[in-house]
Structure 1
């Protein structure tokens, strides 16, 4: 019985060790970014600050917001900077138990998922935010000063980052579904009209109520779906070859 538990204990010790390494590096990164927390928030708020009218400014309605909100931003940046190391630790833990063909599939998926999520965040920051905030300031009634709370702004930005980051994961999701046999490429192509409608419905729910920002989410979602279908069709060729070799 003790011999049976030994491998499990060793795995748990290794898991703890890798979690500690990931968390320690994240804490170190946060400590290094601590002094620049205010600058990081200013950089994050730049799209809003540029869109606001002259004389307007952001405010902190809570006593502790002016301290904790920049700290949250520094923590978010530290998490993103150390995410490759965290993913490496996770990969190093599970990789020994995977077959070679599983390693060839999973590792590119992890890397591409990370890259696509970051691209989605960059798309939101550089292209979507200026449009959204420009629209919001443009429709502000005359005589009303737009003074956004920094904590609510952070919550809005994080929600948009998650929405666009998840949207840019669409090709990976499509390829995984096809690879696992849950759906076929032919079925995905048949579902194209429903996907287009669904993309605009999701955009209407997630984004602010201006048409342009909704289109800026819906169109990439649709195009990324099409990219996922193309890549999934290409991915099925080597899988069929593997099955043929296995049966032979």
Structure 2
């Protein structure tokens, strides 16, 4: 099966409506990051406290099901949905570079989408299952939630490897081709490196660098795509 992605013959034929859709999606993605970090630092502070025990997490879950469902829906499902048009718009914007990095970046973008949906759906179903189980067997509920938490951390909650690779590839191509502002691309590279580094447990603390950097990056990319300006210079010699 062949994956057919939107394309243009050259940079001057980038479709404004398609780019604007990607720009709006990028702003939505930024909003989900702001929402997620705000909830993390306020409503979810007891739940996200690294010193909290699994039993305390289950107690919080039972008492705050609605808040948790909304949080996971926003940071995973809504975010994953926004990534689709954004990744496609960036693919179209970068495609004329004729570089293997462009389709590779788009693939990583789609993989990130899949991981976000998987994480969000497992978390939301898990909340309901654990809340029901907690009424009859608190110990079993704690064990089940610990397992779910480990799975979702592995898929997308515990590190930012896949997202970091996508942002890194997009930024590197855009830096070479000048299809996005140079400062934006440098910000993307720095944020992406921080995201990739979170795959190392000792570096998980820099996950916030990735998150905060990506808020600015998403907003900036969104503005650039909404303007729908054709790239000024394209280096077609990239390998």
TM-score > 0.5, shorter chain as reference: no
Which fold has the larger relative contact order, with Cα–Cα distance below 8 Å and residues 6 or more apart in sequence? 2
The structure with the largest helix share of the pair is 1
TM-score by length of 1: 0.30
